[in-house]
Structures are given as C-alpha cells and as structure tokens.
Amino acid sequence: MEESTSREKILKKVRAALINKSRLEPTDIDFDSSIFTSQEETPELIFAQQFSDIGGQFVFCENEDDFCDSISVLLADHQGDTLWCPEPEIGTLLQKAGLSFRSNAQEPVQNGIAITGCEYLVARTGSVVISSRQTSGRRGPFFADNHLVVARTSQLVEQVKDALKGIKARYGDNQPSMITTITGPSRTADIEKTLVQGAHGPKEIFVFLIDDVPAV
C-alpha cells in the first residue's frame, strides 16, 4: 500500500508539471561561441597531444618525401603484412616509397594494414573524421589489424562542428550517407574490468600528417 501511495505521489507531480508548464523563455543564448578555452599551441601540436593520449601513433612529416621515408621505416617491421590502399593519391606516394599494395576498394584486407585518407582531423579531440564518400568507403578502416591515416595539415580543424561544416560545403546536396569519427583504437573493459584495446576494428591507428601549409 505504501509503495502504491508513493508511486501515486510521483505521478501526481508529473501530471502537475505537464499541466503547469513554465512560461520562462530562454533569451540571449549564444550558440556560436566555442565552449573551449583558447589555446596558444598550434593545431598540429594540440592534435598530436590528444591523439597520443588516447592511444594513437602520430608521425609528422615535413613534406611528401619525408612521408615516404617515415612510412618505409614503419612498414619495415611489417614485411609479412598485406597493405591495402584504394585511394589513388596516397597510392602514388606509396609507389614512390617503393611499397607494393592492393588497391581494389571492393576487397579490403581483413588481416593486414589499411592505408586511407580522411575528411578532417579534429585537434580538440584527437579524432579522425571519415565518410562513405571516400574511396575506401565504409568498410576499409575497420577490417584491417592496423589502420594508417594519411592527412594534410590543411585538413586540421579545431572542433567537430568545423569538420561537419566543411563536409557540408564540399559535397553540397550529395552528402555522404555515413560520417563518423575515429578517436583512437577501440577499447572495452566488459570482461573482468580489464581494459582491452582493439576489441573490434584495428588494434593500432597511425596518423601521418604531411605539412602542406606554406610557412608565413
């Protein structure tokens, strides 16, 4: 009986709240200002710090030649792994580095290394923004054991909303059917509260950031 009474009291309060709605109207709400405090560091440094903190591997490249050298050194330790890269622009750089790879976008590598581009890099969260409009499509970044992202400094934005605005402007009325962010390797602690990285998807994520912004 006591439980029923308590329940009825709660329901009465809910009914009263629905009937007597507040007449207060919010005014002067600023939806445009950033919720983050400004920082003096460059976007490249902010992204590198955030991305490394969540378990990502970051490599800064001064130019395309530096990228070719850096990726060759990294992949020297993965000589037995299959490389998959369906994006022509990145494929040209891999060929320049003397690396062989598969390029069929319809056959992503399930056990190996996927090398893709991205739409944007978000400095504040250390996230990689990808979409289904990329040549690698929906499946590419999620099938391989390791995911290597090749990006340019011109693709760095401060917040996720900046990336979404850029995608909207780029594709106009033909927007991607999928837009998602990758914020470090997947992780879970469901089993015995033990943190496991790479529970689904790639176990390691690398970002090679090539500087393409001329120095002022």
pLDDT at 2 over 60: no
CA 210/CA 48 separation, integer angstroms: 13
Task: Report angle CA 90, 125, 174 to the nearest 5 degrees.
Answer: 55
Tell me the pTM.
Answer: 0.78
Please list the alpha-helical segments (H only) found in 128-211: 140-143, 160-171
pLDDT of residue 69: 96
CATH number for region 41-210:
3.40.50.10420
* Amino acid in the structure at residue 209: L
pLDDT of residue 140: 73
**57-83 tens-digit pLDDT:** 999 999 999 999 999 999 988 877 889
pLDDT of residue 193: 63
Compute the average pLDDT of residues 33-55. Answer: 85
Please list, residue by residue across 13-22, b when 16 or more beta carbons sit within 10 angstroms of its beta carbon and e when fewer do: eeeeeeeeee
Domain coordinates of the chain in residue numbers?
41-210
Compute the average pLDDT of residues 122-149. Answer: 89
